[in-house]
């Protein structure tokens, strides 16, 4: 009997998918990343991708508190 210890990873989001999810332009996502103000990316070869949970956590952190 063999045991499968593989950890299932969540699907990664592309730059276009992140921009669409946030309803902003790709340039805005690039700018936020360049300024160090965005969720950490995963480098896959020469491309960047994001875990959906990291993007959702970043959005949650950006939520303003009502006065």
pTM of the model: 0.81
Q: Are 12 and 45 in contact (CB under 8 A)?
A: no
3-class SS letters over the chain: CCCCCCCCCCCEECHHHHHHHHCCCHHHHHHHHHCCCCCCCEEECCEEEEEHHHHHHHHHHHCCCCC
- For residues 45 and 56, give the distance between their C-alpha atoms in angstroms, rounded to a whole number: 24
Question: What does the pLDDT profile of the chain (67 residues) look like in tens digits?
Answer: 555 666 678 899 999 999 999 999 999 999 999 999 999 999 999 999 999 999 999 999 998 877 7
Give every CB contact of residue 64 below 8 A, 6+ residues apart in sequence.
none
């Amino acid at each position: 009997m063999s045991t499968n210890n593989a950890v299932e990873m969540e699907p990664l989001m592309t730059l276009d998918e992140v921009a669409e999810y946030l309803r902003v332009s790709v340039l805005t996502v690039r700018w936020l990343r360049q300024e160090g103000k965005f969720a950490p990316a995963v480098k896959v070869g020469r491309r960047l991708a994001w875990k959906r949970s990291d993007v959702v956590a970043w959005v949650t952190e950006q939520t303003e508190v009502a006065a």
